[in-house]
A and B are shown apart, each in its own frame.
Chain A
Amino acid sequence: MSDVNAYIGLSAVLFTIGTIGVLTRRNAIVVFMCVELMLNACNLALVAFARQHGTLDGQVAAFFVMVVAAAEVVVGLAIIMTIFRTRRSASVDDASLLKY
């Protein structure tokens, strides 16, 4: 049991780091990486729980998350590239035109 607790704890730490990163960093690439960190923290938790219960559900879910994350990276990076080309900057605070 303590093994699982350790994995969950690690997962929580990684998730928190990712969250703080998303909230505090301005560079879109870094924010993006932090999002990946959060996703993978979730994956870790899923796998850990799957291991604990001895089933494959969590493992499968983790694969799905990876697939979605990969697709998201493709789209997200394309957006960031386009923003960078037009604005010469990858700061998320600069891209704030869509507002009230």
Chain B
Amino acid sequence: MFLFTEGGHSIPVVDPVSAADAGGVFGLLWLVIGLPLLGATVLLLGGRRTDPWGHLLGTAMAVGSFVLSTLMLIGLMGREEGDRSVTQHLWDWVSVGDFEVGMDLLVDPLSILFLMLITGVGSLIHVYSIGYMEHDPRRRRFFAYLNLFVAAMLMLVLAENYLGVFLGWEGVGLASYLLIGFWQHKPSAAAAAKKAFVINRVGDIGMSLALAMFFVTFGSTSFTVISANASGASEGALTAIGLLLLLGACGKSAQVPLQAWLLDAMEGPTPVSALIHAATMVTAGVYLVTRSNFVFELAPTAQTAVIVVATVTLLWGAVIGCAKDDIKKALAGSTMSQIGYMMLAAGLGVYGYAFAIFHLITHGFFKANMFLGAGSVMHGMNDDVDMRAYGALRKVMPVTFLTFAMGYLAIIGFPLFSGFWSKDKIIETALVESPVAGAAALIGAGVTGFYMTRLMLMTFFGEKRWKDGVHPHESPSVMTVPLMVLAALSVLGGVLYLGHWIVDWLAPVVGEIPEHELPMPAIVYSMITVAVVAVGVGVAWMTVGKRPVPTTPPTDVSFVTRAARADIYGDTINDTLVVKPGAALTRGLVSTDRSVVDGLFTGTATVLAGIGQGLRRAQNGFVRSYALSILGGVILVLAALTVVNL
């Protein structure tokens, strides 16, 4: 079954078979979420007793989940092409009147790729964390949160209805809050966690309103029902839903204007940053847009909004990445930019969904690789993150250097590395379908080349600028082995595109890519992209590589650099537009409450007390005046009775 859009594209309808019918390993689908959830529960409830082996249990649960996911992938591959979506009904979740939501899971070509990425990269990050967090007294708790994070993200991608997605969505928000603020003794970490949580709540408003819209429009939140009935809904309703989903995606995926939390989120331990940026959390927005293709394809306005947001974000993040001296913040700017690429591809609709997911996966590999590499560098540099205090680390950290270099070559799109294939396809598609966004993506690729080269040069090349007492050393093998695996994946990730495999694989979910004429052969686009990247790399070499790097940031810099150092004033904009008016509104409400509401009540009380003070005088102690007032009262009552009776 297909939906047909006005543009003549056909979108597949979600039409899964039940796990009971599919048989085999699919009956264990719930365990994919269940294992990490069990790990988190045991570690959190078990307390200190689980300290000695908590990290091993957490890792085992993630690996177990990965093994199950692999079996699912093999199971799906063994099924017929059009029949690769399997659903499992666990229990009736919400049942109110004729509104029913089941706790249903759905595994199909789209979610299985996410499953592999989340559990695969997640497992490697778990292994790495064993070494990275070795000296942290709260390591067991850290692993509990990691497991919770993975479980929530798996819930998000496996749910068969938007309410289930929302459950995972909120779980991811909670786990990211706990992990970003893991070193809660640092006020900056606590503030960053709160900031991430609050900004994500803004996005969640969009998500929950979209849920309500689904309920109103379709009477259901199930993908199956909504995709089958989407063409019957009005375009206005679908546009509204699309924009609300985009707001939600902006919050989770750190897209402009809800991007400000991502850079502060670097306060968390480095494996957390890797997990947030590569395998979970920020990919949720891309997943949401891709999964909701049956909404976006029928709402072109919402698609345009996605493209605009994505284009702004990819340049915004790239510019920030250029000026940061904090290695993790430079990488965070890069993530923002790369997620922008994915959103751009997703915004291009049926032409781009597969490439969005492709880039998401390759980015998951190389960004996890580089974040863990940055963690390895920090591990050897006494947790210093300032690249101006690095330099010449390639000799003392050869493994970290080599693996990081693989990630570097992948992200700038060096030919034949994984990022080359995925980013190149996005730029090519964007140039054809939306030339302005395509041009921006091309420029962004050049800027990516610049800031990543700058990062490499400042960290691993040049002269030693180490602070006193710092003795860099290579990390233990429990940390370097995950790096090597990720480096290999960064290099080889492009095989997913071998023979258009990923495009064909995803076609039953996101639709076949329609034929579109390329004005120039594809190779020309690749060459243009590589040329632009080479310019970026060259500029970085001229400005950073050939000159000594000052150990304190130069102050006589251009307006653009100042802006980029201040995150392009993202916080200032938020403060001016939201925080300050909000605070003023709150103060106004408080003073209104004090003066008007409280004034009304205290005023009434004062008046009544005054009347009482006056009337008190009537109690003068003279018994005869009391008698007179009684007489007066009796006369009044009699008179009244008389009048009434008349």
Chain A contacts to B: CB under 8 angstroms: 19, 22-24, 26, 31, 92-93, 95-100
Given contacts A19-B631, A23-B631, contact A99 B620 (CB under 8 A): yes
* A23 contacts B627, C-beta separation under 8 Å: yes
> Could you tell me the distance in whole angstroms from the C-beta of A83 to the nearest C-beta in chain B?
11
Query: In the complex, which of the residues A19, A24, A93 contacts B622, with contact meaning CB atoms closer than 8 Å?
Result: A93
State A38–B631 Cα separation when bound (angstroms).
13
* A23 contacts B628, C-beta separation under 8 Å: yes
Q: Kindly list chain A residues whose C-beta atoms are within 8 Å of the C-beta of B623.
A: 92, 95-96
* B624 contacts A100, C-beta separation under 8 Å: no
State A93–B623 Cα separation when bound (angstroms).
7
Asked if B185 is at the interface of the complex by the 8 Å CB criterion, the answer is no
State A29–B619 Cα separation when bound (angstroms).
23
* B622 contacts A100, C-beta separation under 8 Å: no
Q: Kindly list chain A residues whose C-beta atoms are within 8 Å of the C-beta of B628.
A: 23
8 Å CB interface, B594-616 against A = 616
State A31–B623 Cα separation when bound (angstroms).
11
A98-B621, A100-B617 known, 10 other contacts, Cβ within 8 Å: A22-B624, A23-B624, A23-B627, A23-B628, A26-B624, A92-B622, A95-B623, A96-B620, A99-B619, A100-B620
Q: What are the 6 closest A-B residue pairs judged by CB atoms, nearest first?
A: A99-B621, A96-B621, A100-B616, A100-B619, A92-B623, A96-B622
The chain B residue with its CB closest to the CB of A22 is: B627
Q: Kindly list chain B residues whose C-beta atoms are within 8 Å of the C-beta of A93.
A: 622, 624
Q: How many residues of B contact A (CB 8 A)?
A: 11
Q: Kindly list chain A residues whose C-beta atoms are within 8 Å of the C-beta of B621.
A: 96-100
State A95–B619 Cα separation when bound (angstroms).
13
> Could you tell me the distance in whole angstroms from the C-beta of B364 to the nearest C-beta in chain A?
84
Q: Kindly list chain B residues whose C-beta atoms are within 8 Å of the C-beta of A96.
A: 620-623
The chain B residue with its CB closest to the CB of A35 is: B627
State A26–B619 Cα separation when bound (angstroms).
18
Q: List 18 A-B contacts (CB under 8 A).
A: A23-B624, A23-B627, A23-B628, A23-B631, A24-B624, A26-B624, A31-B624, A92-B622, A92-B623, A93-B624, A96-B620, A96-B621, A96-B623, A98-B621, A99-B620, A100-B616, A100-B617, A100-B619
The chain B residue with its CB closest to the CB of A99 is: B621
State A97–B627 Cα separation when bound (angstroms).
17
Q: Kindly list chain A residues whose C-beta atoms are within 8 Å of the C-beta of B622.
A: 92-93, 96
The chain B residue with its CB closest to the CB of A92 is: B623
State A97–B622 Cα separation when bound (angstroms).
9
> Could you tell me the distance in whole angstroms from the C-beta of B556 to the nearest C-beta in chain A?
82
> Could you tell me the distance in whole angstroms from the C-beta of A16 to the nearest C-beta in chain B?
11
> Could you tell me the distance in whole angstroms from the C-beta of A43 to the nearest C-beta in chain B?
18
State A42–B443 Cα separation when bound (angstroms).
111
Query: In the complex, which of the residues B616, B617, B620, B624 contacts A92, with contact meaning CB atoms closer than 8 Å?
Result: B624
Q: Kindly list chain B residues whose C-beta atoms are within 8 Å of the C-beta of A98.
A: 621
The chain B residue with its CB closest to the CB of A96 is: B621
> Could you tell me the distance in whole angstroms from the C-beta of A36 to the nearest C-beta in chain B?
15
Contact with A along B347-370 (1 / 0, CB 8 A): 000000000000000000000000
Q: Kindly list chain B residues whose C-beta atoms are within 8 Å of the C-beta of A97.
A: 621
> Could you tell me the distance in whole angstroms from the C-beta of B618 to the nearest C-beta in chain A?
8
State A22–B627 Cα separation when bound (angstroms).
8
> Could you tell me the distance in whole angstroms from the C-beta of B68 to the nearest C-beta in chain A?
86
> Could you tell me the distance in whole angstroms from the C-beta of A79 to the nearest C-beta in chain B?
11
Which of B619, B620, B622, B628 has the most CB atoms of chain A within a 10 A radius of its CB? Answer: B622
> Could you tell me the distance in whole angstroms from the C-beta of B632 to the nearest C-beta in chain A?
11
Q: Kindly list chain B residues whose C-beta atoms are within 8 Å of the C-beta of A19.
A: 631
State A26–B622 Cα separation when bound (angstroms).
10
> Could you tell me the distance in whole angstroms from the C-beta of B638 to the nearest C-beta in chain A?
13
Q: Kindly list chain B residues whose C-beta atoms are within 8 Å of the C-beta of A24.
A: 624
Q: Kindly list chain B residues whose C-beta atoms are within 8 Å of the C-beta of A99.
A: 619-621
The chain B residue with its CB closest to the CB of A24 is: B624
> Could you tell me the distance in whole angstroms from the C-beta of B292 to the nearest C-beta in chain A?
76
State A9–B644 Cα separation when bound (angstroms).
24
> Could you tell me the distance in whole angstroms from the C-beta of A31 to the nearest C-beta in chain B?
8
Q: Kindly list chain A residues whose C-beta atoms are within 8 Å of the C-beta of B617.
A: 100
State A97–B617 Cα separation when bound (angstroms).
14
Q: Kindly list chain A residues whose C-beta atoms are within 8 Å of the C-beta of B619.
A: 99-100
State A23–B621 Cα separation when bound (angstroms).
14
State A93–B621 Cα separation when bound (angstroms).
8
The chain A residue with its CB closest to the CB of B628 is: A23
Q: Kindly list chain B residues whose C-beta atoms are within 8 Å of the C-beta of A31.
A: 624
State A95–B621 Cα separation when bound (angstroms).
8
> Could you tell me the distance in whole angstroms from the C-beta of B636 to the nearest C-beta in chain A?
15
The chain B residue with its CB closest to the CB of A95 is: B623
The chain B residue with its CB closest to the CB of A97 is: B621
Q: Kindly list chain B residues whose C-beta atoms are within 8 Å of the C-beta of A26.
A: 624
State A58–B41 Cα separation when bound (angstroms).
88
State A92–B628 Cα separation when bound (angstroms).
14
Q: Kindly list chain A residues whose C-beta atoms are within 8 Å of the C-beta of B627.
A: 22-23
Q: Kindly list chain A residues whose C-beta atoms are within 8 Å of the C-beta of B616.
A: 100
> Could you tell me the distance in whole angstroms from the C-beta of B152 to the nearest C-beta in chain A?
71
> Could you tell me the distance in whole angstroms from the C-beta of A46 to the nearest C-beta in chain B?
18
State A44–B616 Cα separation when bound (angstroms).
39
The chain A residue with its CB closest to the CB of B631 is: A19
State A97–B628 Cα separation when bound (angstroms).
19
Q: Kindly list chain B residues whose C-beta atoms are within 8 Å of the C-beta of A100.
A: 616-617, 619-621
> Could you tell me the distance in whole angstroms from the C-beta of A22 to the nearest C-beta in chain B?
5
State A97–B621 Cα separation when bound (angstroms).
6
Q: Kindly list chain A residues whose C-beta atoms are within 8 Å of the C-beta of B631.
A: 19, 23
